[in-house]
Amino acid sequence: MTTRREAPVADAVPSPEAGRLSRLADGDLRMLLLIRHFEQALLDLFGRGRLNGTTHTCIGQEYVPVALRPLLSERDFVFSNHRGHGHYLARFDDPHDLLAEVMGRAGAVCNGVGGSQHIRRGRYLSTGVQGQSLPVAVGTSLHLKTQERGALTCAYIGDGTWGEGAVYEALNMAALWRAPLVVAVENNGIAQSTPTARHMAGTIAGRARAFGLRHHRTESLDVNRIRAELAPLIREVRLGRGPLVVEFVTHRVAAHSKGDDTRPPGELKRVLSHDWYRLYAAEHPGHFAEWDDEVRERVTQVVEEVTGRPPAEVPGP
């Protein structure tokens, strides 16, 4: 089995708004490509009837957890969501056991009972329930504030999650108690099939401001630039200066889940023009080619090895 190559999109011209991308360190490019090809492999497996249930890929948004990766330590807690494979891979670089979890095979992270969305490993937890993780993240960050000073909690949410009341209760407590919390908002402009402009009044910045929270918005796709912007802000969180809301204006290239993409062709063309994968391949063709096939082959080998494993054995009560 080989992971599918992305078909060339002749009319998806790179957008000037996306900006130029600086040359990446090899490790960052490898991780970006690992997430991209892993997600494509999942879609291919679903298309061939090899997986059950559903999955939500982060194709187009891979650079967000990769940019945050060196800014988070092993002591930090990470709370993810339904679109969390990239968060997990950036944290652990372990595609074998993540795929085993999704496929219910031996060696799975949670013995195959969590599947694509509900995964716990060490100080990492993902959930498919919108808004559920933020109150838990606040409680965890308060524990860190008193017991493990200098550590923080990073909670990923999307623009659609701002429709959940639990988000506001959590932010209220986080602000009052100056919790060491980073809220990483992946604002891809659409909640399943509803554009953000149709479900959110005001802005994310305005909602953070209502609680007196610091807010930083970045529209860059450049991992190096994002890191430079966020490093001093996250350092302040560690020093006890209160929570931080980071809004990543990003673009979901693939469908909401396996194949339910209802966006019109013009919108898809706009989204593709902001795809870091195509942009980096165009701006740094030699570096991109050096690693793309190698990482694609790595994912192919992962799929072959994991699909050959026996089913996971769920421990009894």
pLDDT by 10s per residue, the chain, length 317: 545 555 433 345 555 565 689 999 999 999 999 999 999 999 999 889 888 888 888 999 999 999 999 999 999 999 999 999 999 999 999 999 999 999 999 999 999 999 989 999 999 999 989 888 999 999 999 999 999 999 999 999 998 889 899 999 999 999 999 999 999 999 987 777 777 777 888 999 999 999 999 999 999 999 999 999 999 999 999 999 999 999 999 998 876 777 667 888 888 888 889 999 999 999 999 999 999 999 999 999 999 999 999 999 887 77
Overall fold of domain 23-191+202-304: Rossmann fold (3.40.50)
By the 8 A CB rule, do 135 and 124 touch? no
Q: Which residue has the tokens 């930090």?
A: 76
Domain boundaries, the chain: 23-191+202-304
Q: The whole model's pTM is what?
A: 0.92
**β-strand pairing of 190-191 with 214-218:** unpaired
Quickly list DSSP for 211-247.
Answer: TT-EEEEE----HHHHHHHHHHHHHHHHTT---EEEE
